[in-house]
Every structure is written in C-alpha cells, then in structure tokens.
Amino acid sequence: MNDHVHAPRSTADTVRRLRPFIRPVRGSLALGLVLALVEVGVGLLQPWPLQWVVDNVLAPTRRGGAVPADGERLVMIAAGAYLAIVLVSALVDYWSTRLLSSSGLRLGNGLRLAVFDHMQRLSLRYHGRHSMGDLSTRVTGDVDRTQDMLVQVLAVLLPNAVLIAGMATVVIVIDPWFAMLALSATPLLAFATWRATVELKTSSRRARKAEGQVAAAATENLGAIEVVQAFSLENVQQERFSDFSGTSLAANLETVRLQARFSPIVDLTSAISVALVLWMGAYSVLNGRMSLGAAHTIASRFEAAIRDEFGPDAEVETHIEPLVVASLAGRDVDDGKAAEITASLRTHAATGGVITDVHSVRVRETGHGLVVNYHCRVDPSLDVTRVHECVDMLEHLARADFPAIGRIVSHTEPTRPAIPGEAVPATQS
C-alpha cells in the first residue's frame, strides 16, 4: 500500500486535484461566477447617474447659467436609475454570494469525506508513525481551513478582483494619466504581498505542526487517563503538554507578528496611491481638465474607501473647489463696479443680520463671467449649517443684482472680540 502523499507542485496541480470535487458543483459555481461578474458591472454603473446630474443639471447653474427647463424631470430619472441599479446590484449580490458560498461549503464537505476515506485506507505503519491528534487535525482543522479558503476565494476574492479591474478600466477611460498615478503604488504593493505570503506560509506550517502536537498530546493523555492517574503521571504529562503548548504559542505569535506588519505596509502603499489620486484629481478639476461629474465619481469612491477604513459611522464629505481668484485668468474690474458689488453684499448681509464685516472684496472679469472673492464674519457660536444657509442666500441675492457674476467665493471667519480703543470698521453701506 502506498503511504506517500505528494504535495501539489503548482496551482495548476492543485486545481487538477480538486477537479473531482468541483465537478458536482460546477453548475452552481459557474452561475455564481457569472452573477458575480454581473454584480461588478452593475456596481460600476452606480456613480454615472450622479455624474450625469452634476454635469447636466447642477454644473450649469453653478457657473451662473439657468436651470434646464426639464431639470426636475432629469433629476427624477437619474434618481430612479440609481435606485434601479442599487436594487439590481443587491439582488445579484444575494444570489452570487449564496451560490458561491454554498458551492465552497459543498466542495469542502466532499474534500473532508475523501480525506477521511483516505486516512482509513492507509497502512498501520503510517498510523504508527503519526499521532492520533495530528491525524484528527488533518480531517477537521486542515479541511476547515481549506473550506474557508475556498469560500473566501469564490465569494470575496474573485468578485473583488474583477471589481478592481473594472474600476481601473473606468479610470483609464476617464483619464489615462490619472489612472497611471492611481496604479503607481501597485508594484510596491505586489512585492509586499508576495514577500508577506512567503513568510506567512512558512510560519503557518510551523503553527499547524505545533497545533497538531498539542492536539495529539491532549488526545493521548486523556485517552489513557486511567494509566496516568494510576502511576501519578499528572505533573509529567502537564510539563510535556506545557512544552507543546508553548511551542504552539510561539509559532502563532510569529504568525500574528507577520500579519500585523503586513497591514501597515498595505495601508502605507494605499495611502501613497490615494494621495496621488487626490492631488492629481483636484489639480485636474482646478485647471479645467476634468469634468465635475467625473471628479464627483472619483470623490465618491474616495469617500467610500475612507468609510470602509473607519467604519460605517464615519461621516465623510469631500468638497471640490477651483483655484483661488488670484490665480484665475482674467483682470480686475474697475473700482466703480467693484464698489457696487461690495455695496450689494454689505446691504444684503445687513438685512439678514447674521453675516457682518464684509471685507476684502475682489472682483475679476474672466471668460466664465465675473468672479467675486470676499471675506466676512459670523458669530462663532452658530452651527455650520446655519452659516452655510446664510452665505448661500447672500450669494443668491448678489447674483440677482448682478447676473454677470459667474462665481462667488466666500471666506467665512468667526467674529473677533471687540478690543478696547479699536475703531469698528464701517462694513455696511
């Protein structure tokens, strides 16, 4: 009887050995993989309705243009399309996860039965060379790990790999140079992953061997408990078990150390990529190279990545702004026009009663209309939402007075405490 067990030499060899176990579940496995691909494709469509609304409805009004005549209908269509995409994605995700996970569980069950059958047919010489606990670990622990690995690969790894490929394709279509920056950290991440994989494999083998020795010691000792107590061997067996347990602890601690070291490396390389994406994306928007909708798509994915890192309770909002007025192409308007706009801002601010000290007003004439930049002060005890509403109202009233205004940039600051002897500036007119 052949007692030799040959380890797979390659991934292809492993797949070949698993083929008999894959065959009974190939139907559900194939359908689950197809649904996973569909889910990825549908998921990639989610940002597009938002981009369409931003580019075709919101962006024109932000530049000082009129709201499209059918703007409300367009927004409703986009909202319905977004909900439909999310519903389809959720339905497909449910069935793909269920099919792939169940396929992995059934495959693992078949593998466990085959391992147990093979163990029974091995010679007594083989069983004599291996402890009972080690053999039991092969049938239980090793197969459980393989089953968990199969479920994770089928239900998590493959869909996420396809999702990453799809996102990379979308970014390449939007801007190849931007995509190159986003993927610039990939080689470093691949090297770190390869290095960690090699070290973790070695450490995991040592940990698994040590766990087998612990299981064997416990099984043999408890199986012969009458003999142990009859000859008062409790202390001897305790020391022996303690040695095995200490070896197992050291091996698992080494595995934990390697895993803990790998996580910061991944975070650091990912941070490099995110920083480059953030810098290049903002720079592209600020210089007019990227549409607001495309920037919104990228910003949404950036927000989602931050929420995944800090948890669902984290509230993340990005705000995309162009360059400050000083760097915009154009020229300053004449003093008379600037004084009129300044007076309008101060008058409406006085009427509202919240915004005060409108100062440092600068007006430039650009190819996109007049760009107004001003500073003002508000009570620091007011909440941000209230301040934002008042600033928006002030900008709206100023645009009504001067339709040529294409953009207004406000810099809101807390009201300074009065200093004795200091003259109060006349900011209202």
Indicate the length of the chain as a whole number.
429
Report the C-alpha gap between 211 and 217 in whole angstroms: 10
| CATH, domain 328-414, list 3.40.190.10, 3.40.50.720, 1.10.3720.10, 3.30.70.1350 | 3.30.70.1350
Instruction: Output the pLDDT for position 297.
Output: 60
Per-residue pLDDT of the chain (429 residues), as tens digits, is: 455 555 555 667 777 788 888 888 888 888 988 888 888 888 778 878 877 777 776 655 544 445 556 777 888 888 888 899 989 989 998 998 888 888 888 888 888 888 888 888 888 888 778 777 667 777 777 777 777 777 777 777 777 777 777 777 777 777 777 677 777 777 877 787 788 888 888 888 888 788 778 877 887 788 788 888 888 888 888 888 888 888 888 888 888 888 777 777 777 777 777 777 777 666 665 555 555 555 556 666 666 655 555 555 555 555 555 544 444 556 888 888 999 999 999 999 988 888 888 988 989 888 778 889 888 888 877 776 778 788 888 988 998 899 888 888 888 887 765 444 444 343 333
Instruction: Output the pLDDT for position 341.
Output: 92
Q: Which residues have C-beta within 8 Å of that of residue 122, sequence separation ≥ 6?
A: 1, 3
Tokens of 388: 């934002």
Instruction: Output the pLDDT for position 285.
Output: 56
Q: Which residues have C-beta within 8 Å of that of residue 35, sequence separation ≥ 6?
A: 92, 95, 96, 99
Q: Give me the CATH topology for the region 175-322.
A: ABC transporter transmembrane region fold (1.20.1560)
Report the C-alpha gap between 175 and 179 in whole angstroms: 6
Q: Which residues have C-beta within 8 Å of that of residue 369, sequence separation ≥ 6?
A: 63, 64, 404, 405, 406, 407
Cα dist from 191 to 84, 153, 182, 187, whole Å = 40, 21, 17, 6
Instruction: Output the pLDDT for position 301.
Output: 62
Instruction: Output the pLDDT for position 59.
Output: 58
Q: Do domains 1-174 and 175-322 have the same CATH topology?
A: yes
Instruction: Output the pLDDT for position 294.
Output: 57
Report the C-alpha gap between 398 and 378 in whole angstroms: 18
Tokens of 39: 């889910």
Burial 378-390 (b: 16+ CB within 10 A, else e): beeeeeeeebeeb
Contact by Cβ (8 Å): 170, 249: no
Q: List the domain boundaries for the chain.
A: 1-174, 175-322, 328-414
Using the structure block, give the residue that is written with the tokens 């800090």. 310
Report the C-alpha gap between 410 and 396 in whole angstroms: 12
Report the C-alpha gap between 270 and 265 in whole angstroms: 8
Instruction: Output the pLDDT for position 408.
Output: 87
**For the domain 1-174, what is the CATH code?**
1.20.1560.10
Contact by Cβ (8 Å): 40, 28: no
Report the C-alpha gap between 207 and 186 in whole angstroms: 30
H-helix or E-strand spanning residue 412: strand 405-414
Residue 413: beta bridge partners?
Answer: 377
